[in-house]
């Protein structure tokens, strides 16, 4: 450990830490644009300038240097907010904003833009330049998913370094020099094919890189993040699901705006995904925006939920060899409720709810895992996997199958077996079941998932359930209540 001082306070740092790293670790704020804890240090924005005191000088003054690339030495004295530092930061911001457009009123980054924040804190004055701003390309299609506004770009190079150091697609570069420099994709289409490309939107400290689905859809101050888990694969990346705040819900427009996912960003969990997620995680609005099932059915006909539950109880009580196919999208809490309520009555297997999409990357060394179900590990801790030869899971006498979740082909069910189906989406299979019960999705309840490495991650509810939709835990409790009093013959 190295002992040194920040703003007169004694602090300790690791031997290989920079001033920036030590300051962050000890709660001292230093502004930055180009620096990122997971990327290399280019030292090109210069906003992280600090003052290194030189006690050998008569007035104790020292020199100015950038904190991101300044190694710590024993006894060093650092000032992060001196008059000299603030004057230098003001000069730096005058340079950075020299050609930056004043279009904050229409910029999607407004409200979470560090350039806005630093200008207010360290500059706050109009540009001293009398020359016309240099104009650059607007709304350049960087990919099918991302739009680039070169006039807002401050050339921090975070996006370029990400594609070289993290995703390793080498999909972006800087073209030309000086005030003619432009971020551009390489010609071989590597950035378009990069499954992690949308991370550059989060990395961009200004409004230069914009997500097409979120463009001009909502102001960030209308939204709030709710911690969740990406269900796209068994990695279980931790994410923030952004949705409209209660106090900003619209009344005169389409009310569906109040119950939609506006965007998804990473929740930094070093044990799971760090600060990154893949593009599939960004598209959860498409997954949870599908048409929902909200009506209980009996042989395809709408019925009241209590009647559907009663019929399902009757089927379970009458069954001699019932089988359950357990969802690998179920939360640990739902799985525990099923085990406690019905597992002793039904022979249970864990099925695969989702298969990889055509053209989807199956696995890599960064985040993506081959199994496209978020809680297969949690389910397999309680129940065996459904055999590859599905028929072997069903004995010849199987007379009832409880199918929980989507993804199972009903053609593989035993002929003549009665079917209880629990699902969240409008699908043809709903009407084929003897009893269908609509259940909630993870954005409507709280719970946890266990990923492939055994790490448990929580998710919280974002939206209220629709009328007629039940939580799976409540369904299992309701189905098991009569059985507790008079259990039927147990399955082998």
Q: Are 116 and 104 in contact (CB under 8 A)?
A: yes
Q: Are residues 141 and 51 in the same domain?
A: no
pLDDT at 486: 40
pLDDT at 81: 94
Helix/strand/coil percentages in the chain, nearest 5? 30, 20, 50
pLDDT at 482: 62
pLDDT at 295: 97
Look up the CATH number of the domain holding residue 134: 3.30.70.20
pLDDT at 60: 58
Q: Are residues 377 and 420 in the same domain?
A: yes
Q: Are 130 and 85 in contact (CB under 8 A)?
A: no
**Residue 49: closest CA among 10, 23, 15:** 23
Q: Are residues 449 and 322 in the same domain?
A: yes
Domain C-terminal end among 216, 235, 266: 216
Q: Are residues 192 and 50 in the same domain?
A: no
- The neighbouring-strand residues paired with 191 are none
- Residue with the two structure tokens 């079917």: 419
Domain C-terminal end among 177, 196, 216: 216
Q: Are 50 and 28 in contact (CB under 8 A)?
A: no
- The neighbouring-strand residues paired with 322 are 400
Residue 135 falls inside a structural domain: yes
- pLDDT in tens for each of the 492 residues of the chain? 899 999 999 999 998 999 999 999 999 999 999 999 999 999 999 999 999 997 656 555 689 999 999 999 999 999 999 999 999 999 999 999 999 998 999 999 999 999 999 999 999 888 899 999 989 999 999 999 999 999 999 999 999 999 999 999 999 999 998 888 999 999 999 999 999 999 999 999 999 999 999 999 999 999 999 999 999 999 999 999 999 999 998 887 788 889 999 999 999 999 999 999 999 999 999 999 999 999 999 999 999 999 999 999 999 999 999 999 999 999 999 999 999 999 999 999 999 999 999 999 999 999 999 999 999 999 999 999 999 999 999 988 999 999 999 999 999 999 999 999 999 999 999 999 999 999 999 999 999 999 999 999 999 999 999 999 999 999 999 998 865 444 444 444
Q: Whole-prediction pTM value? A: 0.92
What range defines the domain where residue 364 resides?
A: 297-485
Copy the structure tokens of residue 179. 């005030």
Into how many domains does the chain fold? 3
Look up the CATH number of the domain holding residue 84: 3.10.20.740
Q: Are residues 91 and 17 in the same domain?
A: yes
Pairing of strands 2-6, 77-79: parallel
Residue 114 falls inside a structural domain: no
């Amino acid at each position: 450990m190295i002992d040194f001082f920040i703003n007169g306070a004694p602090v300790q740092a690791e031997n290989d830490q920079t001033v920036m790293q030590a300051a962050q670790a000890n709660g001292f704020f230093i502004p930055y644009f180009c620096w990122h804890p997971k990327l290399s240090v280019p030292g090109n924005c210069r906003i992280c300038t600090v003052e290194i005191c030189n006690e050998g000088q008569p007035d104790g003054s020292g020199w100015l240097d950038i904190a991101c690339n300044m190694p710590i030495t024993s006894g060093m004295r650092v000032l992060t907010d001196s008059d000299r530092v603030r004057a230098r930061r003001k000069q730096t911001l005058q340079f950075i904003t020299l050609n930056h457009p004043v279009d904050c009123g229409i910029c999607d980054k407004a409200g979470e833009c560090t350039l806005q924040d630093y200008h207010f804190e360290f500059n706050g004055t109009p540009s001293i330049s009398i020359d016309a701003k240099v104009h650059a390309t607007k709304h350049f299609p960087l990919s099918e998913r991302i739009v680039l506004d070169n006039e807002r770009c401050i050339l921090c190079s975070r996006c370029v370094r990400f594609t070289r150091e993290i995703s390793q697609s080498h999909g972006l570069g800087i073209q030309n020099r000086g005030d003619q420099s432009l971020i551009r994709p390489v010609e071989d289409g590597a950035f378009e094919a990069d499954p992690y490309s949308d991370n550059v939107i989060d990395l961009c400290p200004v409004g230069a890189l914009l997500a097409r689905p979120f463009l001009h859809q909502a102001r960030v101050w209308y939204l709030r993040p709710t911690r969740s888990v990406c269900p796209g694969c068994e990695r279980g990346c931790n994410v923030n699901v952004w949705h409209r705040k209660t106090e900003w819900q619209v009344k005169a427009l389409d009310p569906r705006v109040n119950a939609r996912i506006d965007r998804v960003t990473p929740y930094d969990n070093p044990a799971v995904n760090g600060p990154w997620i893949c593009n599939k995680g960004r598209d959860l609005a498409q997954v949870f925006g599908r048409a929902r099932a909200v009506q209980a059915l009996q042989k395809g006909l709408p019925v009241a939920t209590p009647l559907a539950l009663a019929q399902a109880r009757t089927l379970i009580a009458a069954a001699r060899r019932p089988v359950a196919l357990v969802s690998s999208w179920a939360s640990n809490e739902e799985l525990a409720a099923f085990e406690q309520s019905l597992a002793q009555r039904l022979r249970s297997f864990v099925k695969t709810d989702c298969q990889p999409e055509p053209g989807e990357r199956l696995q890599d060394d960064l985040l993506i895992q081959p199994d496209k179900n978020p809680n297969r590990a949690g389910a397999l801790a309680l129940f065996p996997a459904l055999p590859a030869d599905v028929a072997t899971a069903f004995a010849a006498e199987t007379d009832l199958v409880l199918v929980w979740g989507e993804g199972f082909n009903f053609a593989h069910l035993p002929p003549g077996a009665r079917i209880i189906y629990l699902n969240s989406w409008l699908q043809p299979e709903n009407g084929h079941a003897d009893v269908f019960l609509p259940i909630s999705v993870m954005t409507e309840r709280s719970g946890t998932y266990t990923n492939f490495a055994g790490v448990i991650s929580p998710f919280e509810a974002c939206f209220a359930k629709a009328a007629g939709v039940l939580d799976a835990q409540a369904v299992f409790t309701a189905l098991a209540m009569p059985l507790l009093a008079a259990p039927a013959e147990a399955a082998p």
